[in-house]
């Protein structure tokens, strides 16, 4: 039985703030940074108006934001924060602490380029850099997906078989500041869906508890193994939560979205807002009879390796889009993982990588047309020696 | 309530034996003293910055903390314990919290004067209901006695060594207590281990039970870094107080008050010569660098004079 929905028009930032308001977490500790600042504004106002009974802590840095969330979550509170770019970089040390302490903090990342030089516009260098920090990462094409992902992130992270923090990512300005139609759940339904936060143990439950011990050679490795096992097991919980959410809202999600992939010979793998542009171009080429498709990643950590390999197994050539370079001299981070996922296939698709849209560079229809055209050329020659490519950068 | 050390020591310990701090170290003494001042009906959560205290008291799967304890990183104990306190408030507001708790952050001078200063400043300004305790042993003892901004001038430390061109540390100690007072928090005090621990106990009690973010700076000597015999801990502390190197005072709602004034202010030599870290300027037998000793004396005198002016 689907729940009643409320039709609204909200920006991506307001969608996240609304989700946070409906969750009504115990503690929100946050610090302003473009382009996520608005979320902090909205939430501060909710607290000021008594729309939430959250303890809102206006900290002096993102480092303290994540530190306070760690302290709060360890003390039996649902805690949340939001940030972008350098703010996420300043949290870096504590990202590992949150996941290592197995505290399901939620973090909305409004993706923005990392300095330097400083740039306030969108790319994915912030959250891609944090991909190995033991956080679950969900990516969102639009405000609806950001809102839905955020609500689901609590159920995923807090599940007893997971107990990992979750970051929900969306593109700075492109979706964070764009007002779109959205369907919201009633607050009561949100409350029912996320449920009461009731960890097995916490710091102020009346009994002694030590959180964050000095973990020596004798035990550290085992604890890391357990953290990895939690990430391994998260996929099942993620799928269960997606299913339940689908039944509640009618919006069905999977680990990734396959757009016209059934008979596709050429495919673009992409995440966040550029998936929209890729789908538009895909439709255009389909109208001309070309067998093209789009695979939009939604869950990047844990990485759905087997499912991606299967989805790409019949494709002749794949272009993996990276809105971040990781300076490995062998392509971007999404490319590395997608190519690795396909290594075990008997008939691997030809695969190339495009770095695109860094620092807010417009991602155009022509860019995506160029990518599909490049795949045609790769199929023709069978040559992927030049696999590490760029699109939209001048002089290349 | 009259203070009685014997009675206080009969209370169940919140920080118990079996930890691995050195004999003669001030850190554990500070923690026990501070937590003893919490009323029986209240429980505690202690946050600890990365430090000797941290690595020595909670080696998985053991803990010396018989109540709540959290470590997350080095520079963020104030923000971490502020998060715990925020959780407590929110849980109370939502009707979820049963037991009554006090929140205490412990950091060494490295974690407080230096790398944790921003986190401390933020938590103080926001007025979380907590106590921040700096156990000040005047260097990064945990990583091998490197200089901090709390290390006194001329002390020999591994990143300000004594050499042919350098006389140990080149700069005077930062006055952190004064910086904290500048935040306008309700209660700030400086204390150490003296006589029957009354000074520490009473200050800790006021810090715990004055609403808001309060601060204690506790001189907590380190036998390894300062190079004194473990049994001399109390003697060193008394000399720090009687030479006015470490005056005992409190600042209540901005009002400065001396809590101890030595009858005979001792010369700084009496303090310096007990410690190996000053061996290049003074030994138990003789003064080696009289200019250095005179400079330290002048600095102490200047600080003491200013403090007296604030307290009158």
> Does residue A152 surpass a pLDDT of 90?
yes
In a domain, B44, yes or no: yes
At B312 the pLDDT is 87
Residues of B in contact with A217 (CB under 8 A): none
Give the CATH number for residue B233: 3.40.50.970
User: DSSP alpha helices (H): ranges in chain A?
Assistant: 12-23, 37-48, 62-74, 85-100, 125-129, 143-158, 187-194, 220-249, 274-287, 305-312, 333-342, 365-381
Q: Say if residues B154 and B167 touch (Cβ distance below 8 Å).
A: yes
Within a domain: B143? yes
Give pLDDT tens digits for A343-387. 999 999 999 999 999 999 999 999 999 999 999 999 999 999 999
Are A31 and B72 in contact by the 8 Å Cβ rule? The answer is no
Find the closest chain B residue to A54 by CA distance: B90
- Interchain pair A77, B87: CB under 8 A: yes
ipTM of the complex: 0.97
Residue B204 covered by a domain: yes
pLDDT at position B295: 98
Summarised one tens digit per residue, pLDDT across range A179-217 is: 999 999 999 999 999 999 999 999 999 999 999 999 999
Specify the CATH architecture of the domain A5-249.
3-Layer(aba) Sandwich (3.40)
Give a yes or no: residue B191 inside a domain. Answer: yes
Gap from A202 CA to chain B (nearest CA, Å): 9
Question: Is residue B90 a part of any domain in this protein?
Answer: yes
CB contact under 8 A, A53 and B94: yes
CB A126 within 8 A of CB A85: yes
CATH for the stretch A256-391: 3.40.50.920
Size of interface A-B (CB pairs under 8 A): 173
Stretches where chain B sits below pLDDT 70 are 1
Residue B308 inside a domain? The answer is: no
Strand, helix or coil for residue A238: helix
Interface test with A, best of B68, B93, B97, B130 (most A CBs within 10 A): B68
Q: B74, B83, B92, B101: best mutation site toward chain A, by most A Cβ within 10 Å?
A: B83
**Residue contact B87–A55, C-beta within 8 A:** yes
Domain boundaries, chain A: 5-249, 256-391
When pLDDT is averaged across residues A162-190 and rounded to a whole number, the result is 98
Boundaries of domain holding B26? 5-264
pLDDT per position as a tens digit, A213-241: 999 999 999 999 999 999 999 999 999 99
The predicted model scores a pTM of 0.98
Query: Tokens 């691995």 identify what position?
Result: B20
Whether residue A4 is predicted with pLDDT greater than 70 in this model: the reply is yes
Q: Where are the alpha helices (DSSP H) in A250-332?
A: 274-287, 305-312
Give the model's pLDDT for residue A57.
98
The tally of domains found in chain B comes to 1
**Distance between CA atoms of residues A92 and A129, nearest Å:** 9
- Per the domain annotation, does B271 fall within a domain? no
Q: pLDDT-based confidence at A1, cuts 50/70/90?
A: low
Mutating which of A47, A64, A191 best tests the B interface, going by the most B Cβ atoms within 10 A? A64
What is the rounded CA–CA span in Å between residue B177 and residue B190?
A: 7
Q: What is the mean pLDDT of chain A?
A: 98
Q: Is residue B306 part of a domain?
A: no
3-state secondary structure of A192: helix
Average pLDDT over residues A267-277: 98
pLDDT at residue B1 in the model: 59
How far are the Cα atoms of B37, B92, B135, B201, B205 from residue B209, in angstroms, in the given order? 10, 18, 20, 12, 6
What does the alpha-carbon distance between residue A332 and residue A340 come to, in Å, rounded to a whole number? Answer: 12
Measure in Å the smallest separation between the Cα of A193 and chain B Cα atoms: 19
Task: Check whether the bond before A116 is cis (ω within 30° of 0).
Answer: yes
Say if A5-249 and A256-391 have the same CATH topology. yes
Backbone torsion region of residue A335, taken as left when φ is above 0, otherwise alpha when ψ lies between -120 and 50, otherwise beta: alpha
pLDDT value at residue A364? 98
One DSSP character per residue, B118-138 reads: HHHHHHHHHT-SEEEEEEE-S
């Amino acid at each position: 039985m689907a729940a009643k929905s409320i039709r609204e028009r909200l920006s991506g930032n307001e969608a996240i703030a609304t989700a946070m308001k409906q969750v009504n977490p115990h503690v929100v500790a946050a610090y302003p940074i473009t382009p996520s600042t608005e979320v902090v504004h909205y939430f501060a106002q909710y607290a000021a108006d008594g729309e939430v009974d959250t303890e809102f802590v206006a900290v002096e840095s993102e480092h303290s934001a994540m530190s306070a969330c760690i302290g709060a979550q360890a003390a039996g509170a649902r805690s949340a924060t939001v940030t972008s770019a350098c703010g996420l970089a300043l949290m870096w040390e504590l990202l590992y602490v949150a996941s290592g302490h197995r505290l399901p903090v939620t973090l909305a990342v409004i993706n923005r380029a990392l300095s330097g030089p400083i740039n306030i516009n969108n790319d994915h260098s912030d959250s891609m850099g944090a991909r190995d920090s033991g956080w679950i990462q969900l990516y969102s094409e639009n405000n609806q997906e950001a809102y839905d992902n955020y609500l689901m992130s609590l159920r995923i992270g807090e599940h007893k078989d997971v107990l990992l923090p979750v970051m929900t990512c969306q593109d700075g300005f492109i979706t964070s500041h764009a007002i779109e139609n959205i369907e919201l759940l009633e607050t009561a339904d949100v409350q029912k869906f996320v449920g009461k936060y009731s960890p097995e143990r916490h710091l102020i439950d009346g009994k002694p508890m030590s959180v964050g011990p000095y973990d020596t050679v004798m035990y550290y490795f085992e604890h890391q193994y357990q953290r990895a096992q939690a990430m391994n097991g998260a996929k099942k919980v993620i799928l269960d939560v997606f299913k339940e959410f689908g039944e509640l809202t009618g919006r069905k999600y999977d680990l990734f979205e396959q757009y016209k992939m059934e008979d596709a010979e050429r495919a673009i793998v992409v995440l966040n807002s550029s998936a929209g542009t890729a789908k538009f171009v895909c439709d255009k080429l389909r109208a001309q009879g070309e067998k093209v498709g789009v695979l939009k990643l939604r869950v990047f950590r844990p990485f759905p390796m087997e499912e991606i390999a299967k989805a790409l197994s019949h494709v002749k050539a794949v272009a993996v889009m990276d809105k971040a370079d990781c300076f490995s001299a062998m392509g971007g981070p999404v490319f590395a993982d997608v190519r690795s996922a396909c290594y075990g296939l008997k008939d691997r698709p030809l695969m190339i990588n495009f770095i695109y849209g860094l620092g807010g560079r417009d991602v155009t229809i022509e860019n995506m047309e160029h990518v599909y055209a490049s795949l045609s050329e790769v199929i023709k020659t069978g040559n992927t020696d030049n696999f590490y490519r760029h699109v939209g950068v001048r002089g290349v | 309530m009259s203070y009685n050390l014997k009675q206080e020591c009969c209370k169940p310990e919140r920080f118990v034996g079996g930890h691995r701090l050195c004999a003669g170290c001030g850190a554990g003494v500070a923690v026990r003293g501070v937590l003893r001042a919490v009323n029986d009906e209240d429980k505690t959560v202690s946050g600890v910055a990365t430090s000797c205290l941290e690595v020595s008291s909670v080696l998985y799967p053991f803990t010396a903390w018989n109540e709540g304890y959290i470590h997350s990183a080095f520079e963020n104990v104030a923000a971490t314990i502020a998060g715990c306190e925020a959780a407590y408030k929110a849980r109370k507001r939502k009707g979820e919290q049963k037991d009554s708790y006090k929140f205490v952050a412990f950091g060494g001078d490295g974690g407080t004067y230096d790398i944790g200063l921003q986190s401390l400043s933020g938590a103080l300004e926001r007025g979380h209901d907590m106590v921040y305790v700096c156990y000040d042993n005047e260097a990064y003892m945990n990583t091998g006695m490197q200089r901090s901004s709390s290390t006194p001038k001329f002390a020999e430390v591994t990143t300000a060594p004594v050499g042919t061109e350098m006389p140990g540390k080149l700069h005077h100690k930062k006055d952190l207590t004064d910086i904290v007072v500048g935040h306008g928090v309700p209660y700030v005090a400086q204390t150490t281990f003296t006589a029957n621990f009354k000074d520490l106990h009473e200050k800790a009690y006021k810090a715990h039970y004055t609403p808001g973010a309060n601060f204690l700076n506790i001189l907590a000597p380190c036998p390894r870094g300062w190079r004194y015999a473990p049994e001399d801990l109390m003697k060193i502390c008394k000399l720090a107080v009687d030479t006015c190197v470490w005056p005992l005072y409190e600042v209540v709602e901005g009002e400065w008050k001396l809590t101890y004034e030595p009858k005979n202010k001792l010369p700084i030599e009496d303090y310096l010569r007990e410690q190996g870290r000053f061996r290049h300027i003074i030994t138990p037998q003789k003064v080696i660098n009289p200019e250095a000793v005179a400079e330290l004396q002048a600095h102490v005198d200047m600080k003491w004079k200013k403090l007296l002016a604030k307290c009158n």
